[in-house]
Structure 1
Amino acid sequence: LKIDLMFARLSMPTVSDNLDLRDDSYLRSLDIRNIRSLNGCRVTDEILHLVPNKENFWLTLHAIKLWAKRRGIYSNMLGFLGRVSWAVLVARTCQLYPNALATTLVKKFLVFFKMWPKPVLLKQHKESNLNLPVWDPRVYQYHVKPIITPAYPQQNSTYNVSTSTRVVMVEELKHGLAVTNEILQGKSDWPTLFEPWNFFQKYKHYIVLTASASTEEHHLEWIGLVKSKIRVLVGNLERNEFISIAHVKPQSFPGSRELCKQNGYMSMWFLGIVFRKVENAASVNVDLTYVIQSFKVSSQANNLNVLKGGMKTEAAHVKRTHLHYFLPAETLQKRKKHASGLQCKRTSSDGSCLNSSRDTDSRTPDNASLLNKISKLDTSTAERERNLMVLPRVAVPSVSKGLSIPVTDSKMEATVAIRTLGAPVGCTIPGHNTGSQLGSHFVQGQHELSGTPVTDPKNAAPKRPYS
């Protein structure tokens, strides 16, 4: 079980069992660390206090969280939404439709947030004399689709969201709405909504990021730091003028037995890349060397005194047709739709040396039980008549609109090579109906954190290390 264990010291001799932490006066004389620890409980209590029906809220939230995990958009650390953000969105839906049951709330959730209006707030914030820093739309106009926590000091729980992750989440919301409409029309059933999708069939180009260490203890410490910095790599890729989307899969994967023999304990993350269509150009070379080299985790690890011998990261570009070098066949194969989609289990290859990261949540109830509760809910005409929108009086300051992603050509081919020295070997992006010029091989950029040069087996030329 995963448990978030928080500690905070209050300025009071004893703590009673019925203590109401929503009272802002308890924050007096506390330092920022204690305030942040208390804020987790205060936000949860405030959300439950603001929803009109707790039972419908919980059931809807469990369904939305399960859907988000199955569709690969549940991870605050990697730029998607986390537990608090999903809870605030569901709570806002419950406020707008206080008499609706969970089946209707799921649909209304997808309808309302596929447009993702201005900053999402559950209540109007009041002034406080504690003078703690709070989220201000006039200051943080660059934040992508803010979701504001209801407890003081109010913060944006989606500050990690990037342009790419926003596009991916909106796309999934639209897909979920289409599936939900079919379910409510009797054309499909609820397990269809929760069917996982295969990330490795969506993109033509990927970047593989690996983190390895010599011991299991060092590996667990190392992958936590590397994972927390992946969104920096995503941001660097997004700033490249030829890249429109850099989509990281939240789940990590273990290295094969052969890779683990060479590198020790290993975890891999995969980033799907979409290149922009270049107008009036036969081909364009894109060099991603600097982007990869700027992803310096080792220097930060060294500053934190956590860098150990054997800890290293490597990056490589691969095409979809070459992913079998890194992942087992059952992971790459296209998923077949089943009526009992929730019964699908992740299978691990016999060649794996570590278990893959879990995307389950101990707070989420049994999947079958969840579906039974949703399916038994009344969706009759009488129930629909009660689903009138109620708009609470919540004033939202105006903010500037976020950036938009240009539409990319799904047929566009691209070739990327990542190197660390020599003449720039880049990415060729031909125009329409032009096949990829990359052969059956790919160039892998290997970067040793320890500073030891890595030799390319084909040209035996030393490469500059990166971290």
Structure 2
Amino acid sequence: METQSPNGSLQKQSLPPKNYGITKPISLAGPSEADIQRNTELQKFLIESGLYESKEEAAKREEVLGHISEIVKSWVKQLTRQRGYTDQMVEEANAVIFTFGSTVHGPGADIDTLCVGPSYVNREEDFFIILHDILAEMEEVTELQPVPDAHVPVMRFKFQGISIDLLYASISLLVVPDDLDISHESVLPNVDEQTVRSLNGCRVADEILKLVPNVEHFCMTLRCLEFWAKRRGVYSNVTGFLGGLNWALLVARVCQLYPNAVPSMLVSRFFRVYTQWRWPNPVMLCSIEEGELGFPVWDPRKNPQDRFHHMPIITPAYPCMNSSYNVSLSTLRVMMEQFQFGNRICVEIEQNKSQWSALFEPHLFFEAYQNYLQVDIVSADADDLLAWKGWVESRLRQLTLKIERDTNGMLQCHPYPNEYVDTSNQFPHCAFFMGLQRKEGVSGLEGQQFDIRGTVDEFRQEISMYMYWKPGMDIYVSHVCRRQLPAFVFPDGYRRPRSLRHPSQQTGKTCEDVTRSRSGSSCFIGVLSLPISLALPMMKS
């Protein structure tokens, strides 16, 4: 901006820096030479780790999105014709594809996709039945899995080997224009809450990019933190941890608090901020607005259910919601431990005592606990297993909540997002695991028993309500000690010798803690009232 001085000459006048977020920044400091060097090293590490999409992969992704766009346009025209609309309406009939989810693309990443269609094309029958059947007939489509009863209904499949999560939103227009702007609230009138949630994936992603001071720095930091979360076992919305949108919101808030920081600084500040965050105080990128359409927004003062959210991370687009409603006390505890791990390593990196690779060491889940629940999922054939596994996995979070409830939080759970496959099993099979331990720091618990047979039975009863159940679909829940874990959970098919393990690799535990836990004094054999050999099968009644 230029102004005229009294003598007539032009002078440059600097504009005040724009404030981002609902509070002032913590620091306006830019990078030092050491920060710039660390940032270069971090970017080199991310590239060498294969986290950036190649030109060929980007082109393939765009090609696949083009095919899906053609499919949904043809599907809408077909329905328009079948419902007796005029030839002109059939000609104009349209559906538009948007992508969202994480704002960074890496090799092999799922593509989160939203299809927006006209008012007369519905989700329940037209999308989940008619479009599903069209996709099922296509050779390019594999692993087709509809999840109509999810919080955000979704159809999952692979198209030419690329994983797609496809949502659907029917808006109050007879004809959907190709240049539709879904960031505007005009798309929201007269739609249900599932449609609002479907639309908000894209709307929130767009809004985030408007609310960060430097999009390039935000994207690199998010790429780094998502990779870290996957390596440390805390990237999974369905399991009760955080998904791509949640991590994007957390990173964006740190970018607002340190607007001039480079990604290496932002990663370090991320852990510094969230190890000290006093949950359940919410993370918000902007103020919550009520809006004029009457949709409920997150407000624990008005909505009793919002008071029970443990880690609220609020979306910035109207209607503002808590994106992390799946987080439980158990998964919050695990994430806080991992934040502390990240903070410790970042301090060491800044002191030149560690390299970036140390931050991304995989979490040794199967060495962290003495006791585990093993949830085996089996089916008569591979296609049935895909649908059955999806159903069970979407409900595993409920098992964590029920164990918390029935033991008054005294038995802590650590659900692990990874699935494991037993290739030696004659039936299609996969397994999930949950670490178990007594709550620390509570006196009088030594020797306390936890009988969770009734809890598991209740969980099995709920699982048995699967509307697409077929003979052969079963679930088994059993208690195993660490030394009895099956070989298929280990990367090389066998346990590492004890001498190769290092106590410091168990997050948040001192050498003394690890030695004590390995002594067997706290082993749950028999204590859970689940004998090691006991499996709890679910048979369809």
How big is the shift at 1:56? 0.3
In structure 1, the residue matched to 2:339 is 173
Q: What is the rounded CA distance, in whole Å, between the counterparts of 2:433 and 2:230 in structure 1? A: 16
Query: CA separation of 1:325/1:129 partners in 2, compared to 1, >3 Å: closer, same or farther?
Result: same
SS at match of 1:85: helix
Question: Which has the higher mean CA deviation after the structures are superposed, 312-321 or 21-30?
Answer: 21-30
Tell me the CA shift for residue 426 of structure 1. 4.4
1:89 aligned residue: 250
Aligned length: 357
How do 1:5-24 residues align onto structure 2 when only pairs under 5 Å count? Answer: 5-12=166-173, 15-16=176-177, 18-24=179-185
- Tell me, which stretches of 5 or more residues in structure 2 are unaligned? 1-161, 502-512
- 1:213-362 alignment, distance < 5 Å: 213-239=379-405, 240-241=407-408, 243-257=410-424, 260-261=425-426, 264-276=427-439, 279=443, 283-296=447-460, 299-302=462-465, 304-324=466-486, 327-328=489-490, 330=492, 332-333=495-496
Helix, strand or coil: the match of 1:6? strand
Call closer, same or farther: CA 1:107–1:3 in 2, change over 3 Å: same
- In structure 2, the residue matched to 1:149 is 315
Q: Deviation at 1:301?
A: 4.7
Tell me which of 124, 143, 157 is aligned to 2:287.
124
Q: Is the 8 A contact 1:74 1:82 kept in 2?
A: yes
Give 1:255 shift: 1.9
1:37-116 paired onto structure 2 within 5 Å: 37-116=198-277
CA–CA separation in structure 2 for the residues paired with 1:282 and 1:36: 46
Give the match for residue 197 of structure 2: 36
Hey, what's the Cα distance between the residues in 2 that align with 1:166 and 1:280?
24
| Deviation (angstroms), 1:58 | 0.3
Residues 42-79 of structure 1: CA distance to partner in whole angstroms, max 9, x if unpaired?
A: 01111111111100000000000000000000001001
The structure whose RCO (Cα within 8 Å, separation 6+) is larger is 1
What's the secondary structure of 1:3's corresponding residue? Answer: strand
Distance verdict in 2 for CA 1:289–1:54, change over 3 Å: same
Q: Deviations over 1:230-286 (max 9, x none)?
A: 1111112222147342001100101241xx22xx11110111000246745773333
Aligned counterpart in structure 2 of residue 133 of structure 1, from 281, 292, 296: 296
Structure 2 residue matching 1:218: 3-state secondary structure: helix
Residues 75-105 of structure 1: per-residue CA shift (max 9 Å, x gap): 0100101111100000111111111100000
SS of alignment partner, residue 186 of structure 1: coil
Q: 1:129 to 1:323 in 2, by over 3 A?
A: same
CA contact (8 A) 2:290 2:297 kept: no
CA shift in 2, pair 1:287/1:11, >3 Å:
closer
Does the 8 Å CA contact 2:420/2:488 hold for their aligned counterparts?
Answer: no
Q: CA deviation at 1:115?
A: 2.1
CA contact (8 A) 2:421 2:488 kept: no
For 1:305 and 1:12, the matched residues in 2 are separated by: 33
Contact 2:372 2:482 in 1 (8 A): yes
- The one-letter amino acid of 2:538's match is E
Q: Are the structure 2 counterparts of residues 329 and 132 from structure 1 closer, same or farther at C-alpha, using a change threshold of 3 Å?
A: closer
SS of match in other structure, 1:80: coil
1:176-187 to structure 2, matched below 5 A, reads 176-187=342-353
Q: State the Cα distance separating 1:13 from its structure 2 match.
A: 5.5
Cα deviations by residue, 1:422-457 (Å, 9 ceiling, x for unpaired): xxx6448xxxxxxxxx9xx93322313235xxxxxx
Whether the 8 Å contact between 1:256 and 1:327 is mirrored in structure 2 is no
* Partner Cα separation in structure 2 for residue 253 and residue 281 of structure 1: 33
Q: Which amino acid aligns with 1:162?
A: S
Match of 1:442 in 2: 532
Helix, strand or coil at the partner of 2:489: coil
Read off the aligned partner of 2:412 and give its amino acid letter: I
- Cα distance in 2 for residues equivalent to 1:442 and 1:272: 15
**Partner residue in 1 for 2:22:** none
Distance 1:280 1:223, change over 3 A: closer
TM-fit CA distance, 1:219? 0.2
Q: Percent identity over the alignment?
A: 38
Larger gyration radius, structure 1 or structure 2 = 2
* Aligned residues: CA RMSD: 2.6
Which region of structure 1 is more displaced relative to structure 2, 313-322 or 186-195?
186-195
- The Cα offsets for residues 16-52 of structure 1, whole Å up to 9 and x where unpaired, read as 5554322112211223333222111101111111111
CA 1:244–1:252: 2 relative to 1, 3 Å: same
In structure 2, relative to structure 1, the CA distance for the partners of 1:315 and 1:300 (3 Å cut) is closer
Q: Is the 8 A contact 2:410 2:439 kept in 1?
A: yes
Secondary structure at the counterpart of residue 8 of structure 1: strand
1:142 to partner: Cα distance: 1.2
2:395 match: secondary structure:
helix
Q: Tell me whether 1:27 sits opposite 2:188 in the alignment.
A: yes
How big is the shift at 1:318?
0.8
User: Does 231-240 or 56-65 show the bigger shift?
Assistant: 231-240
8 Å Cα contact 2:172/2:190 also seen in 1: yes
- Match of residue 114 from structure 2: none
Preserved contact between residue 242 and residue 286 of structure 1 (Cα < 8 Å): no
Quick one: structure 1 residues 281 and 8, their matched pair in 2 at CA, closer, same or farther if it must change by over 3 Å? closer
Say whether the 8 Å CA contact 2:298–2:321 is kept in structure 1: yes
Give me the TM-score of the superposition, normalised by structure 2: 0.62
Deviates more, 1:176-185 or 1:52-61: 176-185
Counterpart residue type for residue 215 of structure 1 = D
Q: Quick one: which amino acid aligns to residue 213 of structure 2?
A: P
Change (3 A) 1:125 1:265: same
Question: Which structure dedicates a bigger proportion of its chain to strand?
Answer: 2
Mapped partners of 1:219, 1:43: distance in 2: 33
Alignment partner of 1:232: what SS?
helix
**Alpha-carbon offset, residue 189 of structure 1:** 1.4
What CA distance in whole angstroms lies between the structure 2 residues aligned with 1:175 and 1:281? 27
